[in-house]
């Protein structure tokens, strides 16, 4: 259990832990595979693949001979994804290489399915990445992305936040939204982009665009024995030990100031964010914490024009 990558400077290192293995129900992905006709897919591109979570999960609901190519800008993740594929006996069908989502190193019309998970939210121009994903997809092929509205998580009322004052709840939302606006202002992406992805697909010329909501929500309650619950508990405790809110204190300050927050207000806001996590950990410790984990997380898909009539 845990996250072997936490603390690394490499992009998204804080988000590649065990909790990521519990983001989707496999039967839901099987349903999506039927709706998207993934039985006809043979070549897949996983953009911003990280250590390979998403591509390997999707491959589990596709034909056994599907070939998956992953691309990531970070050489560390390319190496780790390749290692994970070897460990799982997938090296013959899975390969990874370095590359940028906005400049994919592949010819036009190379893949039946081009996909990504939580990648567009980190890009200054997601439309450009969608255009690239469409370019390398074969006519009639599918572009499918999994992207969230992360702000919705700040409004989930578990057994701790349900007892918080209205002012405290609003201020936590203000902190997160200010940091998200700061990320946009700095040209680093938008953590709540998910709601707008269908419109971006249409703007790039994809057709038959549709959106589905991830049906996975993790119920957390004592004695916290299920794998997903244990992963959540370990992550919550680790963040408190490291005084880590949604990001480190230094990174949160940087985003908060860029989003229009003031230095004089930051300390109180960050302390409030940490206190909310500390209350959760105390509730876990005494067996009183319970809630549902998960915000709005969308699967958006569209097809490249052309292909068989």
272 closest CA partner among 289, 252, 292, 254? 252
Assess contact for 94 and 52: CB atoms under 8 A: yes
pLDDT score of 1: 44
Residue 196 located in a structural domain: yes
3-state secondary structure at position 54: helix
Domain with 97, as residue range(s), is 13-303
DSSP 165-208: -HHHHHHHHHHHHHHHHHHHHTTS--TTGGGGHHHHHHHTT-EE
Residue 143 located in a structural domain: yes
Residue 2 located in a structural domain: no
- pLDDT by residue for the chain (309 residues), tens digit each? 444 655 555 555 555 555 677 899 999 999 999 999 999 999 999 999 999 999 999 999 999 999 999 999 999 999 999 999 999 999 889 999 999 999 999 999 999 999 999 999 999 999 999 999 999 999 999 999 999 999 999 999 999 999 999 999 999 999 999 999 999 999 999 999 999 999 999 999 999 999 999 999 999 999 999 999 998 999 999 999 999 999 999 999 999 999 999 999 999 999 999 999 999 999 999 999 999 988 899 999 999 999 775
C-alpha to C-alpha distances, 30 to 33, 250, 298, nearest whole angstrom: 5, 41, 16
CA distance 222 to 161: 17
Task: Find the CATH number of the domain harbouring 38.
Answer: 3.40.50.150
pLDDT score of 176: 97
Overall domain count for the chain: 1
Q: Is the peptide bond before 223 cis (omega within 30 degrees of 0)?
A: yes
* Beta-sheet pairing, 207-213 with 137-149: unpaired
């Amino acid at each position: 259990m845990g996250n072997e990558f936490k603390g690394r400077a490499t992009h998204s290192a804080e988000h590649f832990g065990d909790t990521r293995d519990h983001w989707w129900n496999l039967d839901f992905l099987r349903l999506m595979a039927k709706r998207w006709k993934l039985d006809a897919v043979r070549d897949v591109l996983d953009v911003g693949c990280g250590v390979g979570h998403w591509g390997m999960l999707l491959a589990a609901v596709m034909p056994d001979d599907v070939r998956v190519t992953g691309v990531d800008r970070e050489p560390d993740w390319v190496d780790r994804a390749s290692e994970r594929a070897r460990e799982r006996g997938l090296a013959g069908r899975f390969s990874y290489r370095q590359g940028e989502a906005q400049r994919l190193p592949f010819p036009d019309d190379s893949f039946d399915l081009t996909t990504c998970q939580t990648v567009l939210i980190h890009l200054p121009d997601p439309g450009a990445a969608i255009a690239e994903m469409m370019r390398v997809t074969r006519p009639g092929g599918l572009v499918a992305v999994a992207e969230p509205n992360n702000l919705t998580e700040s409004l989930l009322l578990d057994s701790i936040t349900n007892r918080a004052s209205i002012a405290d709840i609003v201020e936590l939302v203000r902190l997160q939204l200010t940091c998200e606006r700061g990320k946009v202002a700095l040209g680093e992406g938008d953590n709540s982009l998910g709601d707008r992805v269908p419109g971006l697909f249409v703007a790039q010329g994809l057709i038959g665009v549709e959106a589905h909501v991830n049906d996975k929500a993790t119920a957390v309650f004592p004695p916290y024995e299920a794998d997903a619950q244990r992963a959540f508990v370990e992550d919550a405790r680790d963040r408190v030990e490291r005084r880590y809110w949604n990001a480190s204190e230094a990174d949160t300050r940087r985003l908060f100031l860029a989003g229009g927050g003031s230095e004089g207000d930051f300390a109180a806001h960050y302390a409030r964010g940490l206190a909310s996590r500390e209350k959760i950990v105390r509730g876990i410790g005494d067996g009183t914490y319970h809630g549902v984990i998960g915000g709005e997380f969308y699967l958006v898909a569209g097809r490249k024009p052309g292909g068989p009539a």
